[in-house]
Amino acid sequence: MPNEIKEILQDLYLIDGDLKKHEKELLKIINELLAKRPNAKFDAKFASELKEKLLLEFEKDKSEHKNILLTNIFSMKKIVFFSGAVAFLILLALVPMINNFYHQQKPGNATIVSKNSGHGEIAKIADNAFGSLASLSNVSGGSKTDSLTANAAPKTTSVAPSIGLVAPGAAVSSKMMPPYEMINYKYVYKGEDFKLDSDKMEVFKRIKGGNNSDGMANLLSSNIGLGLINFNNQNQYALQNVSFAQNQPYGYYFNINMDEGSISLYQNWNYWPQSKCQDQACFDAEKLTKADVPSDEQLISISNDFVKKYGITLDSYDAPEVVKTSNIMYAGAMVKSAVAIAPVDEFIPEYVNVIYPLKIKDKVIYENGAGAKTGLSITISVREKKVSSVYNLNTQNYQSSDYATENDFSKLKNIAEKGGLYSWDNPSATKTVELELGTPSVVYMRYWQYLNNSSEELLIPTLVFPVSSTDSSINSYQTTIALPLVRDILDSQTNVGGGVITPMMTTEKAVR
């Protein structure tokens, strides 16, 4: 027996000497856990390339006094070491760049420029200007596998039954996890008549940050060099990323990503209270309870106050909502999916998210994949009752291009009744359950397209059918079926066939 395993066993016996009698079982469990260690696919080539880069960086740092990094400023805490004048000059130079970041990106061949509901602009360009979108669904979301997960309503799912498969008279462990029951779903449209008027609809592409090479060159030559290094003005520098820290109680790190056109901020851990607990009893005493979780109204008020304090403009966003897909819901779902068999400890999350859903032309945008509304995300620390991070504060400039869309509702209804684009029937299913499709609505869904090593953010018109069930014994099914209306995508994906179905533990709604 390897020493490592011996040592593990010794620790167990120290806690409970009786366990020695069960050494065989324990060995089996430990060996199984060891065997389940995933193959991490470590790549020696990557390791050697990274080493080369790091050693170069190491050399550079030695000669640059390590005080500033231009392409990747990980810790601008050091800004406090700079003279006030330099910091001021840097900020002076950054302001016009950040301003450009919001306004400069206008498409060269734009024919119409209209105002988005927010402070951004939408530039209308020629039809089909973003090229074929047929392959979009296969690369969207950074995944090489099917990405239309919000659309993919598997006709088959598996659900933990409420009664374990146990021999008559046998004792049932309160924690026993039963095998999953395979279910096929039959979708029946029960909605009202629906009409899609147009055979062409707008697809939007977000214009991200810009090339700030001119401003950057000036900034470098005049200020950041600090007289220690000569940044040649002839070189094309572009500011990619700026981070700085707020060194005060409950301060934040701010990160401005010029390439992506986004700003995020998160806790400056050094200035937020940290637990001093060293043992389980202390952790248990500090554990949050339901009473600690602010009401939705309080959460939204905390969030709104923060938005106001930092002057974040909300013109492009809908009214804020508390995101219910947090761990508190997750724990609830686990309890529900294994009724009376695997009760799950209540878990109160440390953080809760408030989202300000993003809108374009007054239509709310949903995230492909997760299927939830997307927008400005503000995380609130339940413990501190303060905003702990802000993400997805992005520039809102778009190009728009018309694409042919499917307007034959009966065709779309048929696809939805088959369970969407990726459905399939599992021959091993033991049960078929009927689900109802309600009247659909047209929304925009955000997709990611990877081209030439960069990602483009596209908003695709999508028809979303709500799914419901009158059968209260069914607690796990897809709650929406979403079909992209752009013909390119729809035609290339229809009848693609089934995917691999894995047990679904979640009952979270795909589109709220």
Hey, which residues between 432 and 471 contact another protein (CB under 8 A)? none
The CB-of-415 to another protein minimum distance in angstroms stands at 20
Asked if 212 and 97 count as a contact pair (C-beta separation under 8 A), the reply is yes
Q: How far apart are CA 279 and CA 258, in angstroms?
A: 44
Hey, which residues between 173 and 232 contact another protein (CB under 8 A)? 173, 175-177, 179-180
Output the six-digit token pair for 17. Answer: 């000497």
Q: How far apart are CA 215 and CA 103, in angstroms?
A: 15
The CB-of-177 to another protein minimum distance in angstroms stands at 6
* Nearer CB in complex with another protein: 337/397: 337
Half-sphere exposure at residue 119, Cβ-oriented, CA atoms within 13 angstroms: 12
For residue 54, state whether it binds another protein (rule: CB under 8 A).
yes
Hey, which residues between 82 and 101 contact another protein (CB under 8 A)? none
158 C-beta neighbours (distance < 10 Å), count: 20
For residue 270, state whether it binds another protein (rule: CB under 8 A).
no
Q: How far apart are CA 118 and CA 137, in angstroms?
A: 28
* Nearer CB in complex with another protein: 93/153: 153
157 C-beta neighbours (distance < 10 Å), count: 23
For residue 146, state whether it binds another protein (rule: CB under 8 A).
yes
Q: How far apart are CA 61 and CA 229, in angstroms?
A: 12
Asked if 373 and 357 count as a contact pair (C-beta separation under 8 A), the reply is yes
DSSP state of 199: S
DSSP state of 326: S
Output the six-digit token pair for 39. Answer: 């193959």
400 C-beta neighbours (distance < 10 Å), count: 23
The CB-of-12 to another protein minimum distance in angstroms stands at 5
Hey, which residues between 337 and 366 contact another protein (CB under 8 A)? 345, 349-353, 355
φ, ψ at 451 (rounded to 5°): -135, 135
SS3 (DSSP) at 482: strand
Applying CB under 8 A, among 141, 154, 419, 440 the residue interacting with another protein is: 141
Applying CB under 8 A, among 1, 20, 74, 346 the residue interacting with another protein is: 74
**x/- track of binding to another protein for residues 286-325 (CB under 8 A):** -------------------------------------x-x
The CB-of-507 to another protein minimum distance in angstroms stands at 10
* Nearer CB in complex with another protein: 32/193: 32
For residue 428, state whether it binds another protein (rule: CB under 8 A).
yes
387 C-beta neighbours (distance < 10 Å), count: 24
* Nearer CB in complex with another protein: 324/487: 324
The CB-of-26 to another protein minimum distance in angstroms stands at 6
* Nearer CB in complex with another protein: 64/402: 64
| Residue among 57, 84, 85 nearest 70 (CA) | 57
* Nearer CB in complex with another protein: 405/480: 480
Q: Which helix (H) or strand (E) holds 467?
A: strand 454-468
For residue 142, state whether it binds another protein (rule: CB under 8 A).
yes
Pairing of strands 156-159, 454-468: unpaired
Our CA angle for 7, 9, 15, nearest 5°, is 110
Applying CB under 8 A, among 117, 138, 221, 377 the residue interacting with another protein is: 377
The CB-of-144 to another protein minimum distance in angstroms stands at 6
**Which span (68-76, 100-108, 294-302, 485-493) binds another protein, by CB under 8 A?**
68-76
Q: C-alpha distances in angstroms, 11 versus 8, 20, 23, 163, 357?
A: 5, 11, 12, 36, 51
> Read out DSSP for 170-205?
----TTPPPPPEEEEEEEEE-S-------SEEEEEE
For residue 430, state whether it binds another protein (rule: CB under 8 A).
no
Hey, which residues between 9 and 38 contact another protein (CB under 8 A)? 11-12, 14-16, 19, 22, 25-26, 28-30, 32-34, 36-38
For residue 335, state whether it binds another protein (rule: CB under 8 A).
no
For residue 247, state whether it binds another protein (rule: CB under 8 A).
no
* Nearer CB in complex with another protein: 30/87: 30
For residue 64, state whether it binds another protein (rule: CB under 8 A).
no
Hey, which residues between 392 and 421 contact another protein (CB under 8 A)? 392
